[in-house]
A and B are shown apart, each in its own frame.
Chain A
């Protein structure tokens, strides 16, 4: 058994740590833990550290996770102890064990300094483990980086190629901007080394350095060009990688390397023409990795350059025809070739060849090839729709594939293939898909169905039918905007379609399961709004009692959400005006809600009861038929609008304007409320003292009083709201994806429809907290003004607009979420501002949240679902917290960045405590 040589060797150990001493063979032997010679029989202070092998065995034999943890913790403690003793004999072994522990997911960063000591050791085996440790364990700590830079510098100058290789490898993995600046000269020197092993590694190092500090790219250019004249494939592939990354980074460099197209074509030709060479063979193909890299670089160089494209036409055709498609390796090359052909300005014949290759891929039994085909066809579809249409049947087949990855791709491609001539068949297939698909597909699929139907509907009747089918097929997984879209569509359509919708939806309403909310919401809205069609049709004759029974079933069910019940109550109010015999029944039903536990419902119950009693004369005009909506409900047109705005350089300012606005509205909310109440007070001169009490209290504090109700609520009178902001808001709102929320309420049909819509939401109370700005453009529409009245008789005086500060809830993957707060009694209104800090265009942004059971959460429709780079969107979140519990929130986010789906989640626990401790 070995024992340690601690005290005697201490001097040497310290020296070796600092890298100061070269060992004699004898000393080295003495330090080697395996050596049996030269060990002193000194008393052992602690048992020798176990070997990595033994540690692995111990960990493997652990039967439970807890047991494993205790083994690891024990070992970590003993490793720490050894580290403290400055005992270099076991350092290598201990670091190796730490790397294993790190891999298992335990913290091992305390080993960083030991790695640095190993790196400084003259022994190659120490260095090797040390550098490996550095690559795996080092984090972004600056001090460690500073220390390692010195060692790297020394080792890059080492006479031994393997030491240089280790240093290059590590530098390529961990280089920070500072390290890049410090070591760029050395790397550039090694890029010109006579040793191919060093040159290839230096090239990858240069990739990292140029990515970290783009200014340094210039100095690498001459040496980089020379790499293309290499014979060694390792150097060639890394050289091509280096050029590719430089070209992607800088357009100037891209121009610079245009002259290498000829070289690259020659390299590729040699590869394709070369017979079997054992040195480069991979699965029977001559260096496929290099071929793929060259093809990719050619694509970047040939993009939008007819001359360069011309030069590479022949070789691309050659690769496309000569590559064997029987194995994965050949298909990988073919795939890359197709991508290049489609991306450069290639000849028509070549493009046909490329699409045909994809067609063959699509029919391939290999799922991987099929996936790749779907993926690529989606890119090609915008360039050559006809060519892709030919494969439509096969693509539709893929919707039924057993593989979720393939189904996802097929679905996206199907939507891209829809055109006016095939919309009926495609939609039929897609709705069948929607019915059977996984929950994760339903939201996005139903949303896309709505967009496609909007774009290509042959007639309104089909459009209405299709949207109803979509909402039925998607169940509860329908984004809110889909509900709004359908309502808007029906409201806009002619009487025949409305009659159809009423008949269809009434049937559904009577039998629908009560746990599917979107359908119930649409159905109640439509049946309420067009209640007169319920008993005037040829086929449909519903009695008042029947209607009320159905509504009661819905309203008293515990399966329906509060929002659905809100729809239902408002709908029943409309019923009452359209079916006079039902009035008494509805009044009774509604009044029961005056004491409902849910504040939203209770508010409606109380308000609407007032409409049956004191303000009965207002009921008729208030609940009149909605005039047709004026705003676009189409997401496509909004995206176009956003794009135009962005093109005009106005994308970001618009978003900022909105953000600014929402901040403003928070701080000014109370003033605005005063103002509003004031205006309303004036409006309702006849209102009796008692009911206006809260309002008149407000009135005392009101800074503005105006006899003309319309102008009092008008823009210029509202402090903190200037016309500019309003303009921005207006501009933004036209690009609002879900403005059709307003469909629930009433629309004034004036120039200021946007904000008007928001105020109408108040009528139905679904969004009554957005009223921070809704009075700003009240038009002289009596119904509107009255609707605000109902809302403001609620005690808005309790609004607490104290400053709760802002909270950055999430910041990853180029998306930042900032929350700001407002509170009205137990109701916290959280304004979420999501900003895209990446350079990618974000679409399908979806924010989902969950709160503990004692809280109630309502997510309002976001201002947008797409984010151009550096743009923002806002979404209101309402959290009702009657028990004053601590607010916590689990958040799930998903979006597509440049078409790539991203999903993430986080937990927000640091809400301002003032939101519930008041």
Chain B
């Protein structure tokens, strides 16, 4: 029972071609090799699934919850013993809406060219794999404020 109960193990944003656009891991330290192998498998497994299948894939000790928005797949890995996949799906949607609100009609290129911004937004939503804030405005308030300060 000493195992960490952290909800989210990783967040990946991947395009249709399987290229990673954002990757954030929580809690576990993975070497580059392990990470690459994991990402390759995860991406392959999720991308090959057709649209009308469910959004969950069991992979090693992870459960993958993914959702596709236009050309971008959002994949969240949670501990295999975690059991509210629907809430993770809701979290993904919340994350995408937040990004959309920030970037105004977010697209793959927005995230790619502003990867640090995307990370900052994610930081306000998730810490150490746990949800910190679910409300879009609350998430974006500090980010927008800091943007303003940075530009000034």
Are A and B subunits of one complex?
Answer: yes
A residues within 8 Å of B by Cβ? 52-53, 56, 96, 99-100, 103-107, 124-125, 128-129, 132, 135-136, 139-140, 162, 165, 168-169, 172-173, 197, 200-201, 204-205, 207-208, 211, 214, 233-234, 237-238, 241, 244-245, 248-249, 279-280, 282-283, 287-290, 292-293, 296, 328-329, 331-332, 335-336, 339, 367-372, 375-376, 402-406, 408, 813, 838-840, 897-898, 900-904
- The contact of B20 among A104, A375, A402, by CB within 8 Å, is A104
Q: B47-55, B68-76, B99-107: which one contacts chain A?
A: B47-55
* Those of B50-90 within 8 Å (CB) of chain A: 52-61, 80-81, 83-87, 89-90
- Complex partner residue of B142 from A139, A197, A367, CB under 8 angstroms: A197
Say whether B29 contacts A139, CB under 8 Å: yes
- Asked if A839 and B1 sit within 8 Å, CB to CB, the answer is yes
> A580–B33 Cα gap in the complex (Å)?
64
Q: Which of A132, A372, A408, A902 sits near B86, CB closer than 8 Å?
A: A372
**When chains A and B are docked, how far (Å) is the Cα of A840 from the Cα of B142?**
41
Q: Are A406 and B54 in contact (CB under 8 A)?
A: yes
Interface string of B96-138 (1 = CB under 8 A from A): 0000000000000000110110011001000110111111011
The answer to whether A813 and B61 touch across the interface, beta carbons within 8 angstroms, is yes
B90:A328 contact, CB within 8 angstroms: yes
Is A288 a contact of B146 with CB atoms below 8 Å?
Answer: no
Instruction: Pick from B4, B53, B57: contact of A211, CB below 8 A.
Output: B4
B11 to chain A, nearest CB (A): 12
Q: Which residues on B are within 8 Å of A, measured CB to CB? A: 1-5, 20, 22-24, 26-27, 29, 31-32, 35-36, 39, 52-61, 80-81, 83-87, 89-91, 93-94, 112-113, 115-116, 119-120, 123, 127-128, 130-135, 137-138, 142, 146, 149-150
Chain A residues lying within 8 Å of B131, measured Cβ to Cβ, are 237, 241, 289, 293
- Whether A249 contacts B1 by the Cβ 8 Å rule is yes
Bound complex: CA A521 to CA B114 (Å) = 62
Which residues from A are CB-within-8-Å of B130?
A: 204, 207, 238, 241
Interchain nearest-CB distance for B13 vs A (Å)? 10
Contact A233 B87 (CB under 8 A): no
User: Are B115 and A288 within 8 A (Cβ)?
Assistant: no
Q: How far is the CB of B133 from chain A (nearest CB, A)?
A: 5
A105-B39, A371-B54 known; A56 vs B29 contact (CB < 8 Å):
no
Given the known inter-chain contacts A328-B89, A332-B86, A336-B87, please indicate yes or no for A237 contacting B132, CB distance below 8 A.
Answer: yes
Q: By the criterion CB–CB under 8 Å, are A290 and B86 in contact? A: no
The residue of chain B having its C-beta at the shortest distance from the C-beta of A211 within the complex is B4
Residues in B whose Cβ lies below 8 Å from that of A372? 85-86
Contact among B4, B61, B84, B146 for A336, CB-based, below 8 A:
B84
Please determine whether B120 and A204 come into contact, CB atoms closer than 8 angstroms. no
12 contacts between A and B (CB under 8 A): A105-B35, A107-B32, A238-B132, A249-B2, A279-B138, A280-B134, A282-B135, A292-B87, A331-B86, A367-B55, A402-B52, A902-B60
Task: Please name the residue on chain B nearest to A250 by beta carbon.
Answer: B1
Q: Across the interface, do B56 and A839 meet the contact criterion of CB distance under 8 Å? A: no
Residues of B within 8 A of A279 (CB): 135, 137-138
Chain B nearest CB from A254 CB (Å) reads: 11
Are A99 and B87 within 8 A (Cβ)?
no
Ranked 6 nearest A-B pairs via Cβ: A900-B80, A367-B54, A332-B86, A172-B128, A289-B134, A332-B87
Q: Are A368 and B54 in contact (CB-based, < 8 A)?
A: yes
* Across-interface contacts of A162 in B (CB, < 8 A): 142, 146
Asked if A282 and B84 make an inter-chain contact with CB atoms under 8 angstroms apart, the answer reads no
Q: B39 to chain A: which residues have CB within 8 Å?
A: 105
A403 x B53 contact (CB < 8 A): yes
Measured CB to CB, the closest approach of chain A to B86, in angstroms, equals 4
Residues in B neighbouring A124, C-beta threshold 8 A? 146, 149-150
The answer on a CB contact under 8 Å between A371 and B56 is yes
* B150–A903 CB distance below 8 A: no
Q: Select one of B4, B32, B93, B138 contacting A234, CB under 8 A.
A: B138
The residue on A at minimum CB distance from B40 is A105
Contacting residue for B5 out of A96, A244, A368, A840, CB 8 A: A244
* A103 CB contact (under 8 Å) in B29, B59, B115: B115
Q: How many A-B residue pairs have CB under 8 A?
A: 187
- CB A636 to nearest CB in B, in angstroms, measures 24
Please tell me which one of the listed residues B81, B116, B119, B149 contacts residue A898 in the complex, with CB atoms under 8 A apart.
B81
A404 to B, closest residue via Cβ: B53
Chain A, residue nearest B23 (CB):
A103
Residue of B nearest to A248 (CB): B5
* B132 lies within 8 A of A200 (CB): yes
Name the A residues within 8 Å of B54 (CB-CB): 367-368, 370-371, 403, 405-406
Bound form: Cα–Cα A367–B85 in Å: 12
Q: How far is the CB of B40 from chain A (nearest CB, A)?
A: 9
Given A339-B83, A897-B61: A287 touches B134 (CB 8 Å cut-off): yes
A residues near B128, Cβ cutoff 8 Å:
172-173, 204-205, 207-208
Q: In the complex, which residues of chain B have a beta carbon less than 8 angstroms from the beta carbon of A370? A: 54
Inside 8 A of A128's CB, which chain B residues have their CB? 116, 120, 146
| A297: min CB distance to chain B, Å | 11
- CA–CA, A207 to B132, complex, Å? 12
Q: How many Å from the CB of A617 to the closest CB on chain B?
A: 58
Residues on the B chain within 8 Å of A207, using CB: 128, 130
Q: Which of B1, B57, B137 gathers the greatest number of chain A CB atoms within 10 Å?
A: B1
Contact B113–A56 (Cβ < 8 Å): yes
For the complex, what is the distance from the CA of A241 to the CA of B5, rounded to whole Å?
A: 10
Known A105-B39, A328-B89; judge A245-B120 contact (CB<8 A).
no
Partner of A248, one of B1, B26, B135: B1
Complex CA–CA separation, A162 to B39 (angstroms) = 32
Cα A60 to Cα B129 in complex, Å, equals 30
Question: Contact check: which of B26, B58, B90 meets A329 at CB < 8 Å?
Answer: B90
Give Cα A372–Cα B133 distance, bound, in whole angstroms: 25
Shortest distance between the CB of B109 and any CB in chain A (Å)? 9
Bound Cα distance from A7 to B138, whole angstroms = 44
User: Closest approach, in angstroms, between the C-beta of A188 and any C-beta of chain B?
Assistant: 17
Given that A367-B52, A903-B60 are known contacts, is A289 also in contact with B87, CB under 8 Å in the complex?
A: yes
Give the shortest distance, in Å, between B8 (CB) and chain A (any CB): 12
Shortest CB distance B77–A (Å): 13
Question: Which residues of chain B have C-beta atoms less than 8 A from A901's C-beta?
Answer: 58, 60, 80
- On whether the beta carbons of B26 and A173 are closer than 8 Å, the reply is yes
Residues of A within 8 A of B31 (CB): 139
Most buried by A among B54, B84, B135, B137: B54
Tell me if B90 and A288 are in contact (CB < 8 A): yes
Taking CB atoms, residues of chain B closer than 8 Å to A204 are: 127-128, 130, 132
**CB <8 Å contact, A99 and B86:** no
Q: Contacts of A56 on B, CB cut-off 8 Å?
A: 112-113
Contact of A245 among B5, B94, B116 (CB under 8 A): B5
Residues on B with C-beta less than 8 A from A241 are 130-131
A52 to B112, CA, bound (A): 10
Q: Which of B94, B119, B130, B135 has the most CB of A within 10 A?
A: B130
Cβ-defined contact, B127 with A201, below 8 A: yes
Nearest neighbor of A289 in chain B, beta-carbon distance: B134
Question: Is B134 touching A371 in the complex (CB atoms < 8 A)?
Answer: no
Question: What's the least CB distance linking A55 to chain B, in Å?
Answer: 11
With contacts A56-B113, A169-B127 taken as known, whether A132 is within 8 angstroms of B91 at the C-beta atoms is: no
Chain A residues, CB < 8 A from B20: 103-105
CA distance A234 to B135 in the complex (A): 9
User: Which A residues touch B24, using CB under 8 A?
Assistant: 135-136
Choice from A172, A280, A898 contacting B135 with Cβ under 8 Å: A280
Cα of A53 to Cα of B5 in the assembled complex, Å: 38
Q: Which residues of B contact A897 (CB under 8 A)?
A: 61, 80
Assuming the contacts A289-B91, A372-B86, asked whether A132 and B119 have C-beta atoms less than 8 A apart, the reply is: yes
- Of the listed residues A52, A234, A245, the one surrounded by the most CB atoms of chain B closer than 10 A to its CB is A234
CB distance from A150 to the nearest CB of B (A): 21
Query: Does A140 contact B112, Cβ atoms closer than 8 Å?
Result: no
Q: If A238-B132, A328-B89 touch, does A368 touch B1 (CB 8 Å cutoff)?
A: no
Cross-chain contact B53 with A367 (CB below 8 angstroms): yes
